[in-house]
């Protein structure tokens, strides 16, 4: 601001000096000359400029020094602040590294603590399982107060020691007095030979043999045909070994072993339930209809040849009435078709063939008897089997919803219904379809035979008539 003021003052002075020189008052000619006045001092513009310039230079140097001092102070402050920032960043990085190291150490500590807790839980579970297992064998040493006061390592040592001793005891045959049951439920006293904890034999004066669990820790004789359980039991009681050895291996003596159920046709059909019985009834009805139709078609087919043989002889002698009487002596579709042909021999050939076709068409109703119903049974049986399958699966899912899938025996009823009904439906449908088609083909062949027989009668009559005309000629 001082430099600006000085520059403005110098500019104003430079403008004012020429104006002052030009506006000096003129001396009038008539007036008397005044007394002489001293001349004003001369002002040097150059010197004024120099003084002002020197003053400005001094101001500039002063300002430059102050700017330099301020810049140096700012640089020092900035360097000091940057140093503090770097120190703080270093401390922050060190703190982060330390925090990460502490976090990793804490995580390792948690993992070790979890491993220790898991190991301790595993040790407790192992001890509890060993206590329950050995308790089932009559060893109650792990349930005493002294065992509970031991450290975990000592408890584990004792557990493994007792388990090893039990395994040694069970690895050899043991014989002791006891009772078991025969197949009829009679209780027998004798000796029980135990082979570890997976097999047993009973020896008594009444009966001997391999034993199976009967439930509740009891044993009964294994009544299996073709097994030498009695010989094996007697041989082991005497300390002898035989081969092969009749044995029944069981997993748990408290779970009763049931004899396998003998499979019968009635039992398998009963698994299909109500729908299974319906399919069976349709199959029985279908077989009865097939038998009736087969007998009917057999009689119809067998009557064709005798009818023709009875008709041809009188027809060759032009005795049409006798031929009609001979045809009526035979019963069946063939006799009725031949009779219709004999009664219309006086008509033209084309009309006669139409009459024969109409008669065969009328007899087709009798020849196709029961055929449609048999084919309906063949079509309905697998559909009923499919219905039983869907019903059985619905029962199975209802059981799963209520009881879950823990016991497969609960699911066997619905699955058996689903499979047995499908099986019964196919068993009924396949033969019905096959026999129905065979019966249909048989009926068509009988129709062809009747048509041929009727045409043979017509041809025989025309030949006889032609022969009679030739003789007359």
In 3-state terms, what secondary structure has residue 75?
Answer: helix
CA distance linking residue 442 with residue 379, whole number of Å: 21
Shared domain for 183 and 321, answered yes or no, is no
Cα angle 270, 271, 272 (rounded to 5 degrees) comes to 90
CA distance linking residue 213 with residue 206, whole number of Å: 20
407 exposed, middle or buried (CB, 10 Å; 0-12, 13-18, 19+)? Answer: exposed
For residues 245 and 351, is the Cβ–Cβ distance under 8 A?
A: no
Which helix (DSSP H) or strand (DSSP E) does residue 438 occupy?
A: helix 408-472
What pLDDT is stored for residue 282 in this prediction?
92
For residues 124 and 159, is the Cβ–Cβ distance under 8 A?
A: no
Domain boundary among 204, 225, 260: 260
Q: Examine residue 211 and state whether it is found in any structural domain, yes or no.
A: yes
Shared domain for 101 and 238, answered yes or no, is no
Domain boundaries, position 81 = 1-9+48-171
Q: Examine residue 80 and state whether it is found in any structural domain, yes or no.
A: yes
Joined together, the tokens standing for residue 449 give: 């035979």
How many domains, in total, are found in the chain? 3
Shared domain for 182 and 162, answered yes or no, is no
For residues 422 and 388, is the Cβ–Cβ distance under 8 A?
A: yes
Shared domain for 221 and 287, answered yes or no, is no
Shared domain for 256 and 348, answered yes or no, is no
Domain boundary among 171, 189, 224: 171
β-bridge pairing 173-181 and 187-195: antiparallel
What pLDDT is stored for residue 380 in this prediction?
92
Shared domain for 91 and 196, answered yes or no, is no
In sequence order, the 6+-apart residues with CB closer than 8 A to the CB of 193 are: 173, 174, 175, 200, 201, 202, 203, 233, 236, 237
Where b means 16+ CB within 10 Å and e means fewer, 320-355 reads beebbebbeebebbbbbbbbbbbebbeeeeeebbeb
For residues 337 and 353, is the Cβ–Cβ distance under 8 A?
A: no
CA distance linking residue 260 with residue 191, whole number of Å: 27
**Tens digits of pLDDT across the chain (473 residues):** 455 455 555 555 555 444 444 444 444 444 445 555 555 556 678 888 888 888 888 888 889 989 999 999 899 889 889 989 999 998 999 999 999 999 898 999 888 888 888 888 888 888 888 888 777 666 777 778 778 788 878 888 888 888 887 777 766 777 788 888 877 677 888 888 777 777 778 888 777 877 778 776 778 877 665 555 677 777 777 777 777 777 777 766 666 676 656 667 777 777 778 888 999 999 999 999 999 888 888 877 766 777 776 777 777 666 777 677 777 777 767 777 777 777 777 676 777 777 777 777 777 777 778 888 889 999 999 999 899 888 888 888 887 887 776 666 667 777 877 888 888 999 999 999 999 899 888 888 877 777 777 777 777 776 666 666 676 66
């Amino acid at each position: 601001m001082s430099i600006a003021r000085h520059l403005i003052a110098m500019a104003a002075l430079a403008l004012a000096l020429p104006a002052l020189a030009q506006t000096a008052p003129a001396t009038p000619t008539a007036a008397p000359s005044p007394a002489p006045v001293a001349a004003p001092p001369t002002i040097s513009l150059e010197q004024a400029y120099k003084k002002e310039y020197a003053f400005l230079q001094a101001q500039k140097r002063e300002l430059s020094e102050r700017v330099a001092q301020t810049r140096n102070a700012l640089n020092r402050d900035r360097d000091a602040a940057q140093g503090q920032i770097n120190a703080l960043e270093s401390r922050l990085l060190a703190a982060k590294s330390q925090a990460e190291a502490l976090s990793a150490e804490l995580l390792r500590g948690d993992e070790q603590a979890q491993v220790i807790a898991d190991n301790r839980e595993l040790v407790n579970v192992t001890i509890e399982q060993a206590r329950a297992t050995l308790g089932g064998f009559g060893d109650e040493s792990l349930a005493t107060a002294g065992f509970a006061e031991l450290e975990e390592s000592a408890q584990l040592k004792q557990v493994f020691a007792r388990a090893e001793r039990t395994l040694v005891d069970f690895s050899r045959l043991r014989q002791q007095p006891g009772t078991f049951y025969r197949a009829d439920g009679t209780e027998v006293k004798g000796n029980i030979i135990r082979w570890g904890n997976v097999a047993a034999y009973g020896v008594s004066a009444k009966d001997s043999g391999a034993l199976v669990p009967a439930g509740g820790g009891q044993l009964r004789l294994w009544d299996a045909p073709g097994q030498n359980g009695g010989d094996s039991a007697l041989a082991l009681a005497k300390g002898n070994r035989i081969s092969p050895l009749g044995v029944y291996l069981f997993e748990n003596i408290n779970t009763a072993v049931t004899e396998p159920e003998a499979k019968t046709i009635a039992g398998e059909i009963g698994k299909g339930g109500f729908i299974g019985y319906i399919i069976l009834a349709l199959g029985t009805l279908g077989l009865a209809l097939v038998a009736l139709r087969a007998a009917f078609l057999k009689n119809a087919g067998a009557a064709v040849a005798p009818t023709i043989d009875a008709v041809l002889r009188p027809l060759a002698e032009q005795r049409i009435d006798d031929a009609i009487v001979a045809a009526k002596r035979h019963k069946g579709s063939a006799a009725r078709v031949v009779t219709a042909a004999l009664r219309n021999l006086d008509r033209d050939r084309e009309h006669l063939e139409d009459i024969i076709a109409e008669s065969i068409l009328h007899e087709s109703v009798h020849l196709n008897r029961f055929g449609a119903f048999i084919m309906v049974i063949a079509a309905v049986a697998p559909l009923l089997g499919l219905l039983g399958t869907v019903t059985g699966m619905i029962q199975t899912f209802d059981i799963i919803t209520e009881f879950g899938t823990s016991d497969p025996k609960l699911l066997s009823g619905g699955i058996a219904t689903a499979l047995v009904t499908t099986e019964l439906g196919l068993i009924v449908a396949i033969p019905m379809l096959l026999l129905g088609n065979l019966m249909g083909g048989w009926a068509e062949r009988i129709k062809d035979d009747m048509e041929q027989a009727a045409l043979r009668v017509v041809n025989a009559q025309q030949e006889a008539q032609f022969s009679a005309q030739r003789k007359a000629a």
